[in-house]
Amino acid sequence: MSDSVQLSPAEMARYARHIAIPEFNLTAQKKLKAAKVLVIGSGGLGSPMLLYLAAAGVGQLGIVDFDVVDDSNLQRQVLFTVADIGQSKAETAKRRLQALNPYIEIKVYHTQFTKENALDLIADYDVVADGTDNFPTRYLVNDACVLGGKPNVYASIFRFEGQVSVFNYLHEDGSRGPNYRDLFPTPPPPDLVPNCAEGGVLGVLPGIIGSMQASEVIKVITGVGEPLAGRLFLFDAASFTTRILKVKKNPTTEIKTLIDYDLFCGIQPVSTLDPIKEIKVQEFKKWLDDGEDFQLIDVREPYEYEISNLKGTLIPLDQIVDAVANIARDKKVVIHCRSGKRSAAAIRSLQTHFQLDNLYNLEGGINAFAQEIDQSLPVY
């Protein structure tokens, strides 16, 4: 760190509780001011992480997020309020963080993190913090950090469980610690692990795990404490238990270039999949009004059905094949979920196994129906 990094009297007062820690003191605080951290995702994990990194005095924060604030985010994404719904998450986060700490710089990248821009985005930053919620992006973040020589502070959450680690950490001897692929060489099957929208997440969990992630970022920057390099921290909020697993480097792990991560994770492009019939919510409403004879099947989870439903027969996606006897063959069948993704998967599975040709996917799912037809239904 250059000796040219100085703290103003106002900054000295603001960070006094840091400076008072003997092991931290002014030296570590100057390292924070000189540091640049790129946070990918400003949602569940990104919200608490960004708040604490900004409050701690990290000199420059970069935020990568192309999403907008949705009402269903507010249960856990504490950067945002009702007034922010429909606004850019990254821009909204910048305003909130700048109000929290005017002594730091914040750059916004309102874009998706892709293999085309990943290396350019991380190039100017010292540390990358992964706040994403899907496997293709996690592998992309990891590989970009390995190729770009950046430490990757990782975390993930699901229902009551969270995990944290520091990948590709640069040790004093110049060696690098394990990376995400050393822990998870290959991704799980795409339909095996639901995302947080489908499987749910306890609202306080990202606050707990995101704060731990911020702590690891600070440790990596300052050299104070022992980062979770070569270790995976596991937390279960339901039982309030923790475990730490050792992570070893795999000598066969080799990362040479960025790849097609959707393909690597088994997510097929829509253009390569068998076509399915779809029905727009307006036409679906007309079928309802006209008394059209059809069967309606809801492939969401029971808790989602309780939030809102269209009075269809509930058959969760993982049970749809076994329940084929309950699906009509002599009339039209409309299948829906939250957004149309799981219902499309259900239809493809039924068409593949049983050659059913009377199935229609409700385009946009129940959320589209709520937004365009019946605003009394909640969007989640």
Which amino acid makes up residue 324? V
CATH class of 35-264: alpha beta
**Domain extents in the chain:** 35-264, 270-372
The active-site residue, picked from 61, 337, 344, 362, is: 337
Rounded to whole angstroms, the Cα distance separating 202 from 210 reads 13
Which stretches of the chain are DSSP H helices? 9-14, 16-19, 25-34, 46-56, 89-100, 118-122, 135-148, 180-183, 196-199, 205-222, 261-264, 281-290, 302-307, 341-354, 365-372
Whether 35-264 and 270-372 share one fold: the answer is: no
Q: Decide if 337 is catalytic.
A: yes
Provide the CATH topology of domain 270-372. Answer: Oxidized Rhodanese; domain 1 (3.40.250)
| Per-residue confidence in pLDDT tens, the chain, 380 aa | 446 899 999 999 999 999 999 999 999 999 999 999 999 999 999 999 999 999 999 999 999 999 999 888 999 999 999 999 999 999 999 999 999 999 999 999 999 999 999 999 999 999 999 999 899 999 999 999 999 999 999 999 999 999 999 999 999 999 999 999 999 998 887 655 566 666 678 999 999 999 999 999 999 999 999 999 999 999 999 999 999 999 999 998 899 999 988 888 877 654 445 689 999 999 999 999 999 999 999 999 998 999 999 999 999 998 999 999 999 999 999 999 999 989 998 998 898 889 899 999 999 999 999 999 999 999 88
Question: Quick one: pLDDT at residue 271?
Answer: 47
The active-site residue, picked from 196, 281, 335, 350, is: 196
Q: How is residue 252 written in tokens?
A: 């066969």
